[in-house]
């Protein structure tokens, strides 16, 4: 410890500071740097002192060098500190370390230091090597973009499949319906999310469907059910839903559900009342005259789809 009467070795003190500091004249000539700066710049102090910044540490990318020069000019003109954005500034690797250039990213601030008359005497550069953090951020951004691209591709497929599809969270809350489902029901996505999709079911089917759904959620078993879905014009169509639980290798329970749906028959009309029927129960007006208009000849026209299946 120096005594009060002994002088302080400020140069030694400066060089020992735990920051990457570079002391320059206003024109950019290097006067000194800290030991930390020597280590991070991979160049000895003797190789840097007395040379201009860009001579001692050549800029590979002229645009990045221009950013540093502009920061110096800001300090000279406005006599105030100036912080630069993160820039890439590759440094030459010593031959004993393999030579070549090392990709590096920096964040720097330049501070003006004044003499007793208030004139700019030095520019102090404080640099931070943020290469590791910056590259980690880039990798995270790439992963996030790849995930977003995969989600976009999946959504494109779901939106263009010729079937109605919905997905649900592990707790059973519906979180997605494709365009075909929404167009059929005439509802918006917001009107079907969560548990609101139940309002589109025929009242007579809701309890049965809900009980089946809750059982599948609790057990993780395949969910398969057939029910009547209300069309946008008020008519009901029978629909077969088959939901598969999605799971990851480490998950002990489903991490979600995905369900394609298909209609099992065409709309039905009753000749006695000339109105579409909304269930498979026989028409109450005149059961013997109840019939159907199938879309194709796959079902015989003599089969009454209004009657319950055996």
For residues 172 and 78, give the distance between their C-alpha atoms in angstroms, rounded to a whole number: 62
Inter-residue contact 49 to 30 (CB < 8 Å): yes
Sign of CA dihedral 26, 30, 32, 37: positive
pTM > 0.95: yes or no: no
* Tokens found for residue 169: 């969270």
Strands (E), 130-235: 164-168, 174-177, 223-230
- Reported as a single tens digit per residue, the pLDDT across 44-77 is 999 999 999 999 988 777 778 899 999 999 999 9
**Cβ density class 140-151: b for 16+ within 10 Å, e for less:** eeeeeeeeeeee
Are both 10-129 and 161-280 of the same fold? yes
Least confident of 10-24, 97-111, 256-270, 287-301: 287-301
C-alpha closest to that of 74 among 86, 65, 82:
82
pLDDT higher than threshold 50 for residue 265 = yes
Residues 161-280: name the CATH superfamily. PAS domain (3.30.450.20)
As assigned by CATH, the class of the 10-129 domain is alpha beta
**pLDDT score, position 310:** 36
Delimit the domains of the chain by residue range: 10-129, 161-280
Percent of the chain with pLDDT over 90: 57
For residues 238 and 217, give the distance between their C-alpha atoms in angstroms, rounded to a whole number: 23
Put the strands of the sheet holding 174-177 in their side by side order: 174-177, 164-168, 256-263, 236-246, 223-230
Angle at 93 (CA atoms; ends 89, 98), nearest 5 degrees:
140
């Amino acid at each position: 410890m120096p005594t009060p009467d002994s002088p302080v070795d400020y140069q030694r003190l400066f060089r020992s500071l735990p920051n990457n500091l570079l002391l320059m004249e206003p024109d950019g000539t290097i006067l000194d740097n800290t030991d930390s700066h020597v280590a991070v710049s991979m160049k000895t102090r003797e190789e840097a002192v007395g040379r201009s910044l860009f001579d001692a540490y050549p800029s590979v990318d002229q645009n990045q060098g221009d950013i540093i020069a502009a920061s110096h000019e800001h300090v000279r003109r406005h006599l105030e500190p100036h912080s630069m954005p993160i820039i890439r500034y590759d440094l030459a690797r010593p031959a004993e370390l393999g030579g070549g250039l090392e990709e590096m990213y920096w964040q720097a601030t330049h501070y003006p230091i004044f003499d007793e008359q208030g004139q700019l005497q030095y520019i102090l550069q404080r640099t931070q090597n943020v290469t590791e953090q910056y590259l980690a951020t880039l990798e995270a951004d790439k992963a996030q973009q790849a995930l977003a691209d995969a989600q976009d591709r999946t959504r494109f497929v779901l939106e263009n499949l010729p079937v109605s599809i919905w997905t649900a969270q592990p707790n059973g809350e519906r979180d997605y319906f494709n365009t075909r489902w929404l167009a059929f029901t005439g509802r918006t996505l917001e009107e079907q999310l969560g548990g609101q999709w139940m309002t589109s079911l025929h009242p007579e089917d809701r309890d049965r469907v809900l009980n089946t759904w809750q059982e599948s959620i609790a057990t993780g078993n395949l969910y398969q059910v057939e029910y009547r879905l209300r069309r946008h014009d008020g008519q009901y169509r029978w629909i077969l839903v088959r939901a598969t639980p999605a799971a990851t290798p480490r998950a002990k329970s489903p991490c979600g559900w995905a369900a394609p749906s298909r209609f099992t028959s065409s709309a039905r009309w009753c000749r006695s009342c000339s109105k579409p029927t909304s269930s498979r129960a026989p028409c109450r007006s005149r059961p013997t005259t109840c019939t159907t208009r199938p879309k194709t000849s796959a079902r015989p026209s003599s089969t009454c789809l209004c009657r319950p299946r055996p």
